[in-house]
């Protein structure tokens, strides 16, 4: 760790995937643990399926909410092309948690462009600490594909070594009651990856 022990986490995805909710749960848990936490959301064209990134920095004392390029301890990509797009933010010995999931942009859907092939393989060539998670499949098995964000949150918590926090109580206080059971199961599914 550097910068007085500050840890840098970058969560990236496509609008509508729940990156911001996952970041809010993460930030709340870290606050409850006593860390100084800064979070910055960058929505971009999220309503049109564009990139969304959330920077979360935590430690004893954090000055800025933005993770500098090349300094992310962990990069969590909710979509595999987004992992490739944001990889330059990951530090040399950082960890990558990537959802093995594809979301096709409008140019791909209309046939004007092709979705890149072999993304996961190229990521594995560049990153030593990589965890590929089939969060969509796990969430579907639980009954709702939209819970893949909390599956990825569980995988992130494991990558950070923060399993000891009371994440279930944070999730309970953050998600609607009707979705609580689903999200608790999704978190456990991610934690077991």
Share the mean pLDDT of the chain: 92
Strands in 36-42's sheet, in edge-to-edge order, are 36-42, 51-59, 7-14, 72-77, 90-99, 129-133
**pLDDT, tens digit (0-9, with 9 covering 90-100), for 30-58:** 999 999 999 998 755 545 567 889 999 99
pLDDT tops 50 at residue 137: yes
Res 4: pLDDT:
65
Compute the average pLDDT of residues 8-21: 90
Res 1: pLDDT:
36
Between 108 and 130, the higher pLDDT residue: 130
Res 144: pLDDT:
96
Q: What is the percentage of the chain residues whose pLDDT exceeds 70?
A: 94
Between 3 and 57, the higher pLDDT residue: 57
Res 48: pLDDT:
55
pTM of the predicted protein model: 0.92
In this structure, are residues 119 and 87 in contact, taking their beta carbons and an 8 Å threshold? no
Between 189 and 45, the higher pLDDT residue: 189
Task: Record the tokens describing residue 177, joined without a space.
Answer: 């009651």
């Amino acid at each position: 760790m550097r910068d007085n022990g500050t840890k840098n986490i970058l969560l990236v995805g496509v609008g509508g995937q729940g990156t911001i909710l996952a970041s809010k749960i993460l930030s709340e848990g870290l606050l409850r643990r006593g860390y100084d936490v800064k979070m910055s959301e960058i929505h971009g064209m999220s309503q049109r399926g564009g990139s969304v990134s959330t920077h979360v920095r935590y430690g004893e004392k954090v000055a800025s909410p933005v993770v500098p390029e090349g300094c992310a301890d962990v990069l969590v990509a909710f979509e595999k092309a987004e992992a490739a797009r944001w990889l330059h933010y990951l530090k040399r010995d950082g960890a990558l948690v990537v959802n093995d999931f594809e979301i096709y942009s409008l140019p791909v859907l209309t046939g004007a462009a092709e979705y890149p092939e072999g993304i996961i393989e190229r990521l594995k060539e560049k990153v030593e600490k990589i965890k590929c998670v089939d969060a969509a499949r796990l969430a579907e098995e639980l009954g709702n594909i939209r819970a893949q964000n909390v599956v990825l949150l569980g995988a992130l918590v494991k990558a950070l070594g923060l399993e000891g926090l009371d994440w279930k109580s944070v999730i309970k206080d953050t998600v609607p009651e009707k979705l609580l059971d689903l999200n608790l199961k999704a978190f456990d599914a991610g934690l077991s990856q």
